Amino acid sequence: MAYIPHTDDDRREMLKTIGVQEIADLFAPIPEEVRLTGDLAIPPALDEIGLVRHLQSLAEKNRNLDRYLCFLGAGIYDHFSPAVVDALISRGEFLTSYTPYQPEVSQGMLQSIYEYQTLICQLTGMELANASMYDAATAIAEGALMAIDITHRDTVVVARSVHPHYRRVLETYILRSGFKLETLDHDEGVMSMGVLSKQLSDNVACMVVQQPNFFGNLEDLQTFHDEIRKVGALSVVCVDPISLGLLKPPGEFGADIVVGEGQSLGCSMGFGGPLLGFFACKREYQRKFPGRIVGATTDSQGRRGFTMTLRTREQDIRREKATSNICTNEALLALCATIYLCEMGKQGLQQVADLCLQKAHYAFDRLCALAGVEPRFQAPFFKEFTIRLPFAHPPASVNQALLDYGMIGGYELRKFYPELADSMILCVTETKTREDIDRLVSAMAQITG
């Protein structure tokens, strides 16, 4: 325990021991003009009842989803999470983000990770999955570095229709590692295959694409894979897991590495985190895999058990030989996704995806029927779509006005896409009713005149 001096003699003895005369000497490196000279403005102590009331008053200043309808997506989504998810992850045995350092002792934890890996493989159509990554952004970056290691090439190409936050993280990883990063611009909200074929070369290790992409549009994955195969590059596909309830999984297109954000799978929005990055690939790349893999086995008595099969991330033993230096495996959120997928099943996930598709298209059709509101792109979309607003009503002012109607509006594109400053991305999930969507349309009609 730390020693706390209680008397003046104790304090003098402490100062003498560390070699200073006065308490003020400890702060000598701090310029006097910026030092605090008076007392801190700390309010008096509260009893527990008063403290709870005070905290509630602070919490009420947040615009939360209990009081506001949310049509904001762009990476974190308002999907329904069954009550069984919270009930099970609240058990004390699971309240950790880490793989135990003596993993075989924790058979329950290992089984949950094994089931998670299996479900991710089934969902993505891939052969191997790890458990797991921080989020989709770091999963994309790790996938690109893995492709560089496999192909021994030095260039990564990323579609500009990939989430801009993901691209920023990818840029940090790739450029700081001494490799090259090129960006493929979008053509009306999707990749231009003609431009792609001209940009690909024998130096390209991989191409990163998102499905559905940041604008909500669906990319032509088959043509994409046909093009990159011509130069021997690998594909890194970032996918929305809910969309896989309806869409063909990337593995069936021949994807090499599939990543994504698992927050939609039973995890809360949580003010933007923590998140869950999933990562899957072909079995032939397992020795380059940035992750821990849990496998099923039998013990000496023939009983089924689980074990840590592969740990290519040797960051806690031999850092210089590690394929990745991410230590946390987000086990608690991976468990959320596991419970969610087991509870939903194939039919339930398909129903959720279909509801998102139908409701998003209903909202899109109704909004685009308003005067001055237009579709920004003509490409097919899943649960997010991009609309252009009237010139007199920029997205920022519309979103501010929507708050007065009890709604959180869409994502404003002007920061990362200046040419789309008059447009916003709206998201509609299975949680929205027809009445909710009609409320949005009515509010937009009044706001835009």
Give 4-23 pLDDT, tens digit per residue: 566 778 888 888 888 888 88
Q: Taking residues 386-397, what's their average pLDDT? A: 95
Distances (CA, A) of 180 to 1, 174, 413: 50, 7, 26
Instruction: Express each pLDDT in 314-348 by its tens digit.
Output: 555 566 667 776 766 688 899 999 999 999 999 99
Q: Taking residues 73-88, what's their average pLDDT? A: 95
Domains and CATH numbers, the chain: 69-79+345-448 (3.90.1150.10), 83-341 (3.40.640.10)
Tokens for 229, please give them: 């195969």
User: Where is pLDDT greater, at 299 or 264?
Assistant: 264
Q: Is 67 exposed, middle or buried (0-12, 13-18, 19+ CB in 10 A)?
A: exposed
What is the reported pLDDT for 6?
63
Burial 85-114 (b: 16+ CB within 10 A, else e): beeebeeeebeeeebeeebeebeebbbbbb
What is the reported pLDDT for 316?
56
Instruction: Express each pLDDT in 202-240 by its tens digit.
Output: 999 999 999 999 999 999 999 999 999 999 999 999 999
Q: Does residue 249 have a pLDDT over 80?
A: yes
Q: Does residue 118 have a pLDDT over 60?
A: yes
Report the interhelical angle of 434-448 vs 395-404 (nearest 10°): 120
What is the reported pLDDT for 110?
87
Going by pLDDT thresholds of 50, 70 and 90, the confidence category of residue 1 is: very low
Burial 10-47 (b: 16+ CB within 10 A, else e): eeeeebeeeeeeeeeeeeeeeeeeeeeeeeeeeeeeee
Bridge partners (DSSP) of residue 304 are 298
Instruction: Express each pLDDT in 152-209 by its tens digit.
Output: 999 999 999 999 999 999 999 999 999 999 999 999 999 998 889 888 999 999 999 9
Q: Taking residues 19-29, what's their average pLDDT? A: 86
Neighbours of 225 (CB within 10 A): 18
Taking a C-beta distance cutoff of 8 angstroms, is the pair 211, 221 a contact? yes
Burial 282-298 (b: 16+ CB within 10 A, else e): beebbebbbbbbbeeee
Q: How far apart are CA 312 and CA 322, in angstroms?
A: 6
Of 238, 228, 236, residue with least CA distance to 255: 236
What is the reported pLDDT for 287?
84
**pTM to 2 decimal places:** 0.87
